[in-house]
Structure 1
Amino acid sequence: MTTVITKRLGYLAAAERLLRALGPVEYCPDQRPETVRRHLAGARIVLATKGVTIDGDALDAAPGLRVVAAPTAGFDWIDITAATARGIPVIANTGAAADAVAEFTLGTVLALTRRIVAADRELRGGADWAAVRDRYSRADLRIGGDLTTSTVAIVGLGHIGRKVAQKLAVLRPATLIGYDPFLPAAHAAELGVELCADLLDCVRRADVLLLHVPLTARTAGLVGAEVLAALPPRALLVNCSRGEVVDEPALVEALESGRIAGAALDVFAEEPLPVDSPLRRLDNVILTPHIAGVTAQSDETRAREIGERVLAAAAGTRPVGLVNPEVWDNRRPFDGPLEPK
Structure 2
Amino acid sequence: MIMDRRSVLAGAVAFGAALGVETAFPSFAQAAIPLPDGFERMPLWPGAAPGGAGVRVTEVSALRYPELGTDTLYQDHVVTPTLTMVRAKRPNGAALLLIPGGGYRRVSTGLEGYVIARRFADAGYTCFVLSYRMPADGWAAGADTPLQDAQRGLRLVRSLATREKFDPARVGAIGFSAGGHLAAWLSTRAPRETYAAIDAVDRQPLGVAAAALMYPVVTLRDPLAHAGSREQLLGANATADRIAAYSMEDTVMPSPPPIFLAHAFDDKTVPYQNSLVMAAALRAQGGAVECQLYEAGGHGFGIGPRAPAASGWSDAYLRFLARHGV
Q: TM-score, normalised by structure 2?
A: 0.33
Structure 1 or 2: larger helix share?
Answer: 1
TM-score, normalisation: structure 1: 0.32
**Relative contact order: is structure 1 or structure 2 higher (C-alpha 8 Å, sep ≥ 6)?**
1
